[in-house]
Each structure stands twice: as C-alpha cells, then as structure tokens.
C-alpha cells in the first residue's frame, strides 16, 4: 500500500498532516503548467494494463489531459494563469492564489471521485487533505501508485496527504474540518449534512456537491428513426453502465415522447439488445445482496403497480428495463435499472423537474426544439444538458459552479493613477 495513504487514529495525526501541508504552501509554489506536466505523465501511466480497465479510469485519463484542462484553466482563471502570471485588466491586475489547505470528503460509491476532487484544488495551487473512504482504499492506492511513479520531482505528491479513518469518529472529522481553509464535499444527504455541520474556520470556503439524480429524454423523431436507433441505445446503455448507475450523473429514467399510433416496442427491443451487449462487454463482477433484493423488488412492484406496465430483464439481476407511462419519477433502484416512461408531451414532463435533477441527457432531432428544451430544463434547476452518451463527462461548470476557481482566491491589485 502506498505511503501516501495513511491510517490515522487520533486528531493529532490529522493536525500534523495539515501542518505539513501548510509548511509546504509557505515554502514552495507551483503553477498550473507544472501541475499539468505531472498530470500528463500520470495519464500515460494509468494507461498501463494493470490500471487502464479499472472502474472510472477512462474518465480520469480524459480529465487529466492537458488539452482538456488548459482551456478550463484559461477560462476560469484568465489568460496568463497557466504560468501563474498577473492578468491585466485596465488599471487592475488579477492573479489566482490558492485558498490554502483544501479538505476533500468524497463519496464512497464513485471509485475515482477522491482523485477528481483533489485535482481540481491542486490546479489552483492548493495543498490537499483527502479522506479516502475505506471501500475505495485499494483502488485509490493503485491509482496513486501511478502518480508516484510519474511525479519524479514530487511536484504534486508533496502537496497531498491521503487519510483513512472511520467516518463514525466525530473527533477525527472535527480535526480535519478545523485544519482546512476550504472543503470539497460530495455524497448523500446524511453525509453532506454531517460534514457541513463540522466546525470549519469562519473563513473556510465550502463547495458542496450533494445527492441528485439524472434523467434522459428523446423526442419521437429520434427514438423512432431506425437509422439512429441502435447508436442511441448504445449510448444510453453506456451511460447506465458507468459507475453501476450510482453516480449523480447516471440516468435513472428515460422519457420517450410518443405520438398516437407510434409503438415503442421496436425501440425497447433495440434497447434490450444494447443492454445485453454492454453486459457482455462489462459484466458485473459482484453484487451485494441488498442490491439484488432491491432490483427484484423493483421488478415485481413495477409489474404489480399497473397492468399496462411491462419490463424486460434477464433471470439474473444484471440489468432491468421497466416500461410504463407518465412523468412521475419513481424512487431510483440503481444497479443498472432504467425506467422508460412514455409521455405525450415532452415539455410537460420536463417542466415537472426540479433542482433535484442534475443532468439531462438528450436526443432531440430538431435543433430548435433542443434549444427550447434546454432552456426549459435550465429554468427548472438542471445544471447540465448533454447529448446521450456523455452524461458522465466531468468538466466545469459542475452543479452550476466552476471546479477550479471555486478553490482559488482571485487577488485584485488596483494600481494608483499616475
């Protein structure tokens, strides 16, 4: 296990780790360009056969590339920020400075989330104190070992401390909160509420990414077009399979706009074929008993709820397609369980959405209609509107906010009139 991940058992351990990071902040500095050099090398190392196929690694590698991050840094921090330069704006100069020590509380259900969160703060010049959920320790260690291998000058590794401790230890949670200048908090309602209640310093900047769900929608021209049907179904399956449908970006419901006389039967069969193909390509390695039970109960409850409902699924709990009518979103089951809801009016269905929905995946044939639907979704609290197949692509804004600038102080220097 890499030395970068430490087991801690006392508040003093956390305080000491934060003190190390604060000392490094005071004695060393780094630019986004230097960080990007390390990230590029890390990206290449993750492509090795022992890590390339780990859950989430393809997305992590896409994020770490310079051609992904350079435009984001320039957009959020300004031209010249890549080299840590002041940005001229008339008599005013602006320069990005780190917030300081940034604490990260990732959720335990997304394998790469501790690292994604950490990279956002590092690009702002911060140091990072990251709590690694125990269920993610093994995979995090494997991915971090590739960073250690790539970062020969310790440009990045010296600026991070990865800690594991029992989430039920309030003394350790308090010590971590008291030690940071900023925090990036991810997870479910209970976890987020507990962490937000911790005694952070009054100046600490908090970025909270709480529990939300995502949905997809297709107009009748898209799903009924035989020429594009298979490709669209493959994209939906890909979005459902990633992160085992546990991410806030995972589609739980697919709204299908229907017209009188148009049967969705052929589309559902194409979707079934796409799910079967995805399952062959990425079979489930294991499944918890509780999830198996939830999937079986969801199947039975759906079929008993309404005689017009139908479902398609294999004998095993590998995947499930529930088909029905209406715009009410059922309680998500996850575990690759997609509810397909036929609606007569797509606008009416989407108008019922609220801020609990994070991402809307779309396949709309008419560009003008897509713009109208995107505007409607945005006005109802949805932060990301993307094509099907790209629901998980990580990039700012995320939950409506920038990912790098949120943990940066933009220092303003107003020069005197000459």
**Bigger pLDDT: 29 vs 373:** 373
Percent of the chain exceeding pLDDT 90 equals 90
Whether the Cβ atoms of residue 65 and residue 47 lie closer than 8 Å to each other: no
Query: What pLDDT does residue 88 have?
Result: 84
CA 94, distance to chain mean position in Å, is: 30
**Bigger pLDDT: 146 vs 78:** 146
In angstroms, the Cα distances linking 63 to 68, 358, 366, 375, 417 are: 6, 20, 31, 27, 43
Q: Mind listing the pLDDT tens digit for each residue in 98-114? A: 999 999 999 988 999 99
Q: Can you tell me the distance from the alpha carbon of 55 to that of 244, in angstroms, rounded to the nearest whole number?
A: 9
CA angle, corner 318, sides to 286 and 292, nearest 5? 65
Q: Where are the alpha helices (DSSP H) in 28-163?
A: 32-46, 57-64, 66-77, 113-122, 137-150
Q: Which residues pair with 183 in a beta bridge?
A: 103, 206
Residues 6+ apart with CB under 8 A from 284: 244, 318, 336
Residue 62 and residue 198 in one domain: yes
Terminal-residue alpha carbon distance, the chain: 59
Whether residue 38 lies inside any domain: the answer is yes
Residue 47 and residue 92 in one domain: yes
Q: CA torsion sign, 83 to 84 to 88 to 89?
A: positive
Whether the Cβ atoms of residue 130 and residue 114 lie closer than 8 Å to each other: yes
CA angle, corner 69, sides to 381 and 18, nearest 5? 85
Query: What pLDDT does residue 417 have?
Result: 73
pLDDT band at 1 (very low <50, low <70, confident <90, very high): very low
Query: What pLDDT does residue 78 have?
Result: 87
CA 185, distance to chain mean position in Å, is: 12
Residue 265 and residue 153 in one domain: no
User: Domain range spanning residue 217?
Assistant: 213-387
Query: What pLDDT does residue 79 have?
Result: 83
Q: Which residues pair with 253 in a beta bridge?
A: 215, 339
Q: Mind listing the pLDDT tens digit for each residue in 238-288? A: 999 998 999 999 999 999 999 877 899 999 999 999 999 999 999 988 899
Q: Can you tell me the distance from the alpha carbon of 96 to that of 311, in angstroms, rounded to the nearest whole number?
A: 53
Residue 109 and residue 190 in one domain: yes
Whether residue 251 lies inside any domain: the answer is yes
Mean of the per-residue pLDDT values of the chain: 94
Whether residue 105 lies inside any domain: the answer is yes
299, exposed or middle or buried, with CB in 10 Å at 0-12, 13-18, 19+? middle
Whether residue 284 lies inside any domain: the answer is yes
Whether residue 238 lies inside any domain: the answer is yes
- The residue whose two tokens read 């109208």 is 372
Query: What pLDDT does residue 270 have?
Result: 97
Residue 360 and residue 241 in one domain: yes
What is the SS3 assignment for 385?
A: strand
Residue 137 and residue 99 in one domain: yes
How many residues would you count in the chain? Answer: 418
Query: What pLDDT does residue 20 have?
Result: 96
Percent of the chain exceeding pLDDT 70 equals 99
Element (H, E) at 349: helix 346-350
Q: Mind listing the pLDDT tens digit for each residue in 323-346? A: 999 999 999 999 999 999 999 999
0.85 exceeded by pTM: yes
Residue 109 and residue 74 in one domain: yes
Q: Can you tell me the distance from the alpha carbon of 60 to that of 393, in angstroms, rounded to the nearest whole number?
A: 10
Residue 165 and residue 246 in one domain: no
* pLDDT for 24 beyond 60: yes
Residue 198 and residue 222 in one domain: no
Residue 200 and residue 218 in one domain: no
Whether residue 135 lies inside any domain: the answer is yes
pLDDT band at 418 (very low <50, low <70, confident <90, very high): low
What is the SS3 assignment for 218?
A: strand
CATH number at residue 332: 3.40.309.10
Q: Mind listing the pLDDT tens digit for each residue in 381-412? A: 999 999 999 999 998 999 999 999 999 999 99
- The residue whose two tokens read 């999937």 is 295
CATH number at residue 19: 3.40.605.10
Q: Can you tell me the distance from the alpha carbon of 319 to that of 183, in angstroms, rounded to the nearest whole number?
A: 36
**Bigger pLDDT: 84 vs 177:** 177
Whether residue 260 lies inside any domain: the answer is yes
Number of structural domains the chain divides into: 2
Residue 175 and residue 264 in one domain: no
Q: Mind listing the pLDDT tens digit for each residue in 101-159? A: 999 999 988 999 999 999 999 999 999 999 999 999 999 999 999 999 999 999 999 99
What is the SS3 assignment for 412?
A: strand
14, exposed or middle or buried, with CB in 10 Å at 0-12, 13-18, 19+? buried
Whether residue 392 lies inside any domain: the answer is no
Query: What pLDDT does residue 361 have?
Result: 98
Residue 118 and residue 55 in one domain: yes
Q: Where are the alpha helices (DSSP H) in 78-112?
A: none
Query: What pLDDT does residue 4 have?
Result: 82
């Amino acid at each position: 296990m890499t030395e970068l991940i430490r087991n801690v058992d006392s508040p003093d351990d956390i305080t000491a780790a934060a003190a190390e990071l604060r000392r490094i902040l005071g004695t060393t500095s780094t630019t986004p360009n230097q960080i990007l050099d390390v990230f590029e090398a890390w990206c290449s190392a993750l492509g090795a056969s022992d890590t390339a196929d780990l859950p989430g690694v393809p997305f992590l590698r896409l994020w770490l590339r310079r051609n992904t991050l350079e435009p984001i840094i320039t957009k959020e921090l300004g031209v010249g920020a890549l080299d840590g330069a002041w940005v001229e704006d008339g008599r005013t100069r602006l320069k990005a400075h780190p917030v300081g020590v940034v604490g990260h509380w990732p959720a335990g259900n997304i394998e790469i989330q501790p690292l994604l969160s950490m990279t956002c703060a590092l690009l702002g010049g911060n140091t990072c104190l990251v709590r690694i959920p125990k269920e993610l320790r093994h995979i995090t260690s494997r991915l971090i070992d590739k960073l250690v291998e790539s970062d020969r000058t310790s440009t990045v590794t010296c600026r991070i401390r990865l800690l594991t401790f029992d989430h039920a230890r309030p003394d350790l949670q308090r010590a971590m909160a008291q030690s940071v200048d900023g925090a990036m908090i991810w997870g479910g309602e209970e976890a987020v509420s507990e962490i937000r209640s911790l005694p952070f310093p009054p100046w600490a900047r908090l970025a909270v990414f709480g529990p939300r769900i995502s949905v997809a929608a297709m107009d009748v021209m898209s799903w009924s077009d035989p020429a594009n049907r298979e490709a669209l179904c493959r994209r939906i399956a890909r979005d459902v399979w990633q992160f085992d449908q546990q991410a806030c970006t995972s589609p739980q419901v697919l709204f299908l706009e229907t017209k009188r006389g148009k049967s969705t039967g052929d589309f559902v069969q194409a979707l079934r074929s796409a799910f079967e193909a995805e399952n062959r390509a990425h079979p489930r390695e294991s499944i918890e008993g509780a999830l198996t039970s939830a999937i079986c109960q969801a199947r039975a409850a759906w079929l008993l709820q309404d005689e017009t409902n139908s479902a398609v699924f294999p004998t095993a709990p590998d995947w499930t397609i529930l088909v029905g009518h209406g715009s009410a979103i059922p309680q998500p089951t996850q575990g690759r369980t997609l509810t397909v809801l036929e609606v007569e009016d797509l606008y009416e269905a989407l108008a019922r959405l609220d801020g609990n929905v994070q991402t809307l995946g779309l396949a709309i044939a008419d560009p003008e209609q897509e713009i109208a639907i995107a505007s409607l979704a945005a006005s109802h609290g949805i932060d990301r509107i993307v094509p099907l197949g790209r629901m998980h692509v990580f990039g700012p804004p995320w939950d409506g906010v920038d990912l790098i600038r949120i943990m940066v102080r933009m220092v303003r220097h107003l020069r005197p009139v000459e």
